[in-house]
Chain A
Amino acid sequence: MTLRDILNKLLGRQPASAAKARERLQLVLAHDRTDLSPDLLEQMREEILAVVAKYVEIDFEGGEVSLETEDRMTALVANLPIKRTLNGEIKLKEKESSSSSEKNHEKKNNLSEQASV
């Protein structure tokens, strides 16, 4: 912390703005780069979940699909905790800790499709 930061804190002023600029840019670019609107992303999320749900039973509540960007490469990260496969009862409730900051794009899970067959 610099002398300036301390002064800002004491005076109740805002911290230096560069960090804020960086953070806002990274978020806006992750979406610019994919050309995906939040609606399309949500639609894709639902469809991915539906496909996966055909083969394994997944934890819809814990499921997460998001976009992460690093070095001009944007990755679609899907984190889907599996409850069990359709013919066994494997417990794989390992939820990898992903450092995604884009949880805010995840809307409520309104998926009605069940693991059928």
Chain B
Amino acid sequence: MTSDTRVILICSGKGGVGKTTLTANLGISLARKGSPTAVLDADFGLRNLDLLLGLENRIVYTAQEVLEETCRLDQALVKHKQEPNLSLLPAGNPRMLDWLKPEDMKKIVGMLSEQFQYVLIDCPAGVEDGFRNAVAASKEAIIVTNPEVSAVRDADRVIGLLNTNDIKPVQLVLNRVRPKMMESQEMLSIDDVTDILALPLLGLVLEDEQVIVSTNRGEPLTLIGSQSPAARCYSNIAGRLQGEEIPLIDPSQEGNGLGDKFRRLMQTKIF
């Protein structure tokens, strides 16, 4: 699968907008749909992807040891127990800063491409060395942003850098959408953000408390087959990434259906 492996960078510029959560959920979704998928945590200084996937206790080696040839790639890959199509590879150890170079990243992604159909790279925040390393190894990108001025501004900066590095396609995921605030025009609308950034919208993700619950447990929403708003959004995005035609969720219609009301009822505390 070397040539048709899709190496997708998931980046945002600003931190805390939901890159890692999106990487974890997309990885699980793609794997569940039958595609061998690797998620690479390029943020080795502050790595968190292991934690969101519930794999934090199973990391022994990282990409660093693979490149130093102290272990084989399959020894460093952490296979997800419930979803064996998904493997995690941490780029490095938090203690070893300034170690990785763009060529190292290319080499490791090249090795992953021989085994996997999808390689998702969880990019570090910022536009410095960690970002440049991750970009060097990527072919296409997903920009994650929130409907907030600072997140959109940083996304714009990153899009400019991706364009100069010839990464394409670059698609947009608008995360943490609050339909009620958009309705009362206290939040940038979907059109505002897509117009300003001029990117095709791969999907939007509704604000959802269940995301926090799932990170507490180390079980991404897509893994447990949740039907919560964010879970549906994540699997829609995975489907579109694979070329399925899935219509966008209409935020103004969210939470009004009978199913949503029932789900809310089921989440009410009784005692």
Contact = CB atoms under 8 A, between A and B. Distances in A.
Interface of A: 4, 16-19, 21-22, 24-26, 28-29, 32-33, 71-72
A25 B152 contact: yes
Contact of A18 (B156, B159, B185, B196): B185
Contacts of B152: 25
A16 B149 contact: no
A4 B180 CA distance: 13
Contacts of A33: 156, 160
Contacts of A28: 153
A19 B188 CA distance: 8
Nearest to A69: B196
B5 interface: no
A75 to B, nearest CB: 14
Contact of B188 (A21, A29, A71, A72): A21
A32 B186 contact: no
Contacts of B187: 18
Given A21-B149, A25-B149, A26-B196, A16 B184 contact: yes
Interface of B is mostly: helix
Nearest to A22: B192
Size category of the binding interface on chain B: 10 to 19
A72 B159 CA distance: 10
Interface of B: 148-149, 152-153, 156-157, 159-160, 182, 184-189, 192, 196-198
Closest 7 CB pairs of A and B: A16-B185, A72-B198, A18-B185, A71-B198, A22-B192, A21-B149, A21-B188
Given A71-B198, A72-B198, A18 B188 contact: yes
B156 A32 contact: yes
A21 B193 CA distance: 11
A22 B197 CA distance: 12
Nearest to A28: B153
Nearest to B150: A25
A19 B196 contact: no
Contacts of A72: 159, 197-198
11 contacts: A16-B184, A16-B186, A18-B182, A18-B189, A22-B192, A24-B149, A25-B153, A28-B153, A29-B153, A29-B196, A32-B157
Contacts of A17: 185-186
B153 A19 contact: no
A88 B101 CA distance: 63
Contacts of A16: 184-186
A25 B196 contact: yes
B196 A4 contact: no
B186 A29 contact: no
Contacts of B198: 71-72
A22 B196 contact: yes
A33 B158 CA distance: 11
Contacts of B182: 18
B149 A32 contact: no
B188 A22 contact: yes
Nearest to B148: A21
Contacts of B192: 18, 21-22
Given A33-B160, A71-B198, A18 B153 contact: no
A28 B188 CA distance: 16
Contacts of A71: 198
Contacts of B197: 72
Given A25-B196, A26-B196, A32 B153 contact: yes
Given A21-B192, A71-B198, 20 more contacts: A4-B184, A16-B184, A16-B185, A17-B185, A18-B182, A18-B187, A18-B189, A19-B185, A21-B149, A22-B192, A25-B152, A25-B153, A28-B153, A29-B156, A29-B196, A33-B156, A33-B160, A72-B159, A72-B197, A72-B198
